[in-house]
Amino acid sequence: MREWRTALAPKLVLAAGDRNEAARSVDVTWRCLENRRGRVLVHCSTSGRRKWNLAEGGRSTGRRRIPDPSGLLSSNKMKKRVVGQSERTRCNSCDRSVPSYDIVNVTSQEHGGRALCSECYNKEVAALDDLSTFEHVRFEPVMLADCTGATHEFHFRTRLFGPGVAIDAFELINNHPAGYEFEIIGDPEGDLLELLSRLIEKIRRGLSTKHLIDHDLGRQIADHQIVRGDIGWDEAEGGSVPLLTIDGQGITWREFGRMLMSFEGWQFKLEIKDKSEEL
């Protein structure tokens, strides 16, 4: 595991509402790490008591490493920390009010903490990384049917992270990303529409199989005995065990364990992959 020293400010201003706390300044320590899957992570900790993975700097492809550490720091973990925030947030750059899921919290030495919409955030990252040909595109939601004929509305979010550009597709429940979620990563100087069409094909493949079936004894694993899903944070369990998303539905660790018990005595293979990879 590689590690970088950072030049980020040793003080961090926590916004009001962030983890339900009032605005205040705290002393923090920053660490940049490359994990086993080649993702660059930025860790922030306060006197050993708290630790957050604030930024996911994307892959270290060899072409570039993490963007200038004194530059932008983004948070992709807003979903866990937006409790109490309104469903729309005003961008501190263009002043537009956008859905909160479209906001990236950014801290830089020059501007301090700011909430930026995806478009403004991408513009700043493109300028920092000399990506003069990158053009942000706002994609409209699309409706796609799963293998049972049920339709799902997918919204899109585009994030530039230096060596790549990620497009996320997600459903909304109570105005928050939930249900089915997919991601694709491409060349930031490539064609975003072509990347979107590859993402839609990936969504279609994801919707073409159901992994769980309804049964008289409760929900069970389907006969093909393969389960694909996402590993999420279970607020009710304080994050001690995951909340899985399978077939676009939240499944508690306990419920999944109950389903596995119908295979007592069998063996299994667990394979973990990055969100952008094909399962």
By the criterion CB under 5 A, which residues form the site for Zn ion? 91, 93-94, 117, 120
DSSP secondary-structure letter at 39? E
CB of 97 to Zn ion, least distance (A): 10
Order the strands of the 165-173 sheet from edge to edge. 142-145, 151-160, 165-173, 176-186
Nearer to Zn ion, 117 or 259 (CB): 117
CA dihedral 67, 194, 277, 279 (to 10 degrees): 170
Phi, psi of 167 (to 5 degrees): -110, 125
Q: How distant, in Å, are the alpha carbons of 29, 30, 116, 172, 203 from that of 7?
A: 10, 8, 21, 37, 39
Cβ neighbors of 151 (< 8 A, separation 6 or more) are 143, 144, 145
Question: Mapping DSSP to helix (H, G, I), strand (E, B) and coil, where does residue 43 land?
Answer: strand
Q: Tell me, what amino acid is at 109? A: Q
Helix (H) or strand (E) holding 65: none
Nearer to Zn ion, 110 or 216 (CB): 110
CB of 104 to Zn ion, least distance (A): 10
CB of 102 to Zn ion, least distance (A): 9
Nearer to Zn ion, 60 or 93 (CB): 93
Q: What does the block give as tokens for 164? A: 């790549």
Nearer to Zn ion, 50 or 138 (CB): 138
Nearer to Zn ion, 112 or 239 (CB): 112
Q: Tell me, what amino acid is at 257? A: G
Burial class of residue 171 (count of CB atoms within 10 Å of its CB; 0-12, 13-18, 19+)? middle
CB of 269 to Zn ion, least distance (A): 44
CB of 105 to Zn ion, least distance (A): 13
CB of 79 to Zn ion, least distance (A): 20
Nearer to Zn ion, 95 or 223 (CB): 95
CB of 100 to Zn ion, least distance (A): 13
Nearer to Zn ion, 91 or 212 (CB): 91
Provide the 10 A C-beta neighbour count for residue 89: 21
Q: Comparing C-alpha atoms, which of 188, 75, 184, 195 is closest to residue 130?
A: 188
